[in-house]
Structure 1
């Protein structure tokens, strides 16, 4: 699977388009589409990986673990900007906020 295909797959899972992904990463709107013809710069790949909450190794096809840090339980908190989806469909913004409020509440109850 190519870098472009992996990126498309994860963006779809997160409920956002490649154009939205590029914009959130601070790249030109259609820049990710060129990844089938040329390898992206390391810093651009990292920006996209950060937006999609996966490792660059996953996008490069070096691992099938989407986020190595998370799979190794190295993340102690949560990222409030994470893209949320349920059953392959994006969660509405108002529901995302409710879920984040609940997550913040749980985190505060645990004293973290």
Structure 2
């Protein structure tokens, strides 16, 4: 899934159009559709990520995890974070994710 497709999916989840997203985050009209052909400016991509509370890695298909664990938040259950992961994660990948979450939790204490 490409960047524009990923953003479209996120927009659909919030029932907003690209135009509405562009207005909300303060970028020019029609900008997002152009990202199929031209790479977006980093600050514009960051605005999109912040709006949807997802990581840049998620937008760029480098991870299936939508957001980064907030180091200042209360400890979250693994299943809450796993809810943000696509259905096509294998059992081995899920085990690795759980181990990584436990590792992050241990570093906070």
Q: TM-score per shorter chain, which class? A: 0.5 to 0.7
Deviations 1:5-52 (A, max 9, x none): 111111111221111111111101211010111111111100111111
Give the Cα–Cα distance (whole angstroms) in 2 for the partners of residues 38 and 13 of structure 1: 25
Q: Which has the larger displacement, 39-48 or 9-18?
A: 9-18
Match of 1:40 in 2: 40
State the superposition RMSD in angstroms. Answer: 1.6
For 1:61-80, list aligned pairs within 5 A.
61-69=61-69, 74=71, 76=73
Regions of 4+ moved over 2 Å: 73-77
Name structure 1 gaps, 5 residues minimum.
Answer: 78-112
Q: Of the two structures, which has the highest relative contact order with CA contacts closer than 8 Å and spacing of 6 or more?
A: 1
Which structure 2 residues correspond to residues 1-80 of structure 1 after superposition, within 5 A? 1-69=1-69, 74=71, 76=73
Number of equivalences: 74
Q: Displacement of 1:74 after TM fit?
A: 3.2
SS at match of 2:19: helix
